[in-house]
Amino acid sequence: MKILVTGGAGFIGGNFVHYMTKKYADYKIVVVDNLTYAGNLATLKDVKDKITFYKADIADRATIDGVFASERPDVVVNFAAESHVDRSIDNPEIFLQTNILGTQVLLDASRKYGVSRYHQVSTDEVYGDLPLDRPDLFFTEETPIHTSSPYSASKAGADLLVMAYFRTYALPVTVSRCSNNYGPYHFPEKLIPLMVVKALADEPLPVYGEGLNVRDWLYVEDHCKAIDMIIHKGKVGEVYNVGGHNEKTNISIVKTILDILEKPYSLITYVEDRKGHDLRYAIDPTKITKELGWVPETAFADGIVKTVHWYLENRKWWQDILSGDYKKNESTWGI
């Protein structure tokens, strides 16, 4: 089996490559990533001898066609995306370019060369948000698409395109919509890694608004396991929600990190709220649990300690990002 993984030098894609190379020694893994600011070859250095890597933009039709022509993958898993909501608010254009048009290029190549599965890694953000005072409500696969940010709108556009290629061309697709991930190799612009590196530097921790927005956190390896199950056992044309019923306010996450690092709460600084800030995300994972037997394995109390310790033990990985050296070291896989 040959799997083409796009965005494999990013956070979740990188963890997925580690997971798959460990679990399936006989699979061939081809990674396509154009190494944007969020892509880091150091994330893949431990598995570099087990993969084939192409530095390529998923929206570059000619190059992607060439990769498919020479690699002929059986399965495509598309992680490649612009992924940060705040950046999408500042500059939406690249989000539409990569997330929508890039997806279309991959779908066309998948059709042309014939794949047994095209899997789109999507997000719970396509459902918009839930009110804070209705803890009984959850996102199911039937929840209407109702996006808030240019990022989530671009991911929703891609999802609709993927489903259109299933209906119109019978391309064998699946889509997963996961809640917030955390774990190793998470770029330090997102809440958890940002707070860890700022706390270690005794810098102010910027909490948006009152810190009461709720996210549903899942350890990244549990997301990788879900995608593994979907590409092997999932039904084509189906959407699967992925989440572990682990809702936390942002302020409680920040305090947990400060507790683990034994740093004072006085580092917390409340700053201006994000524009259009989604209030609460909460996934109902009944479908993937019932149909595929997926259940999360890592409890948040363990996963967050493991994650903070990873950042303590892998300082070079994130310090090279903060200094910009990770881009200078690209030719040597950040070694």
Active centre residues (catalytic): 124-125, 151
Segment interacting with ligand DAU, rule: CB under 6 A, options 13-21, 29-37, 78-86, 161-169: 78-86
Minimum Å gap between C-beta 208 and ligand DAU is 4
Q: Which of 87, 215, 223, 225 binds ligand DAU (CB under 6 A)?
A: 215
Q: Is 83 in the site for ligand NAD (CB under 6 A)?
A: yes
Radius of gyration of the chain, Cα coordinates, nearest whole angstrom: 19
Q: Is 298 in the site for ligand NAD (CB under 6 A)?
A: no
Q: Which of 1, 35, 164, 212 binds ligand NAD (CB under 6 A)?
A: 35
User: Tokens at residue 134, please?
Assistant: 């209705």
Q: Is 29 in the site for ligand NAD (CB under 6 A)?
A: no
**Burial class of residue 242, CB neighbours in 10 A (0-12, 13-18, 19+):** buried
φ, ψ for residue 5, nearest 5 deg: -110, 115
> DSSP 3-state assignment of 205?
strand
Q: Is 7 in the site for ligand NAD (CB under 6 A)?
A: yes
Q: Is 197 in the site for ligand DAU (CB under 6 A)?
A: no
Q: Is 229 in the site for ligand NAD (CB under 6 A)?
A: no
Q: Is 190 in the site for ligand DAU (CB under 6 A)?
A: yes
Q: Is 36 in the site for ligand NAD (CB under 6 A)?
A: yes
Minimum Å gap between C-beta 235 and ligand NAD is 20
In DSSP notation, 31-90 reads EEE---TT--GGGGGGGGGGEEEEE--TT-HHHHHHHHHHH--SEEEE--S---HHHHHH
Neighbours of 194 (CB within 10 A): 17
Q: Which of 4, 29, 30, 34 binds ligand NAD (CB under 6 A)?
A: 34
Q: Is 281 in the site for ligand DAU (CB under 6 A)?
A: yes
Minimum Å gap between C-beta 160 and ligand DAU is 16
In DSSP notation, 134-169 reads -TT--B-TTSPP---SHHHHHHHHHHHHHHHHHHHH
Binding mask 138-157 for ligand NAD (x = CB under 6 A): -----------------x--
Segment interacting with ligand DAU, rule: CB under 6 A, options 30-38, 45-53, 80-88, 95-103: 80-88
Per DSSP, 99 falls in state I
How many angstroms separate the CA atoms of 171 and 168, rounded? 8
Minimum Å gap between C-beta 47 and ligand DAU is 23
Neighbours of 54 (CB within 10 A): 18
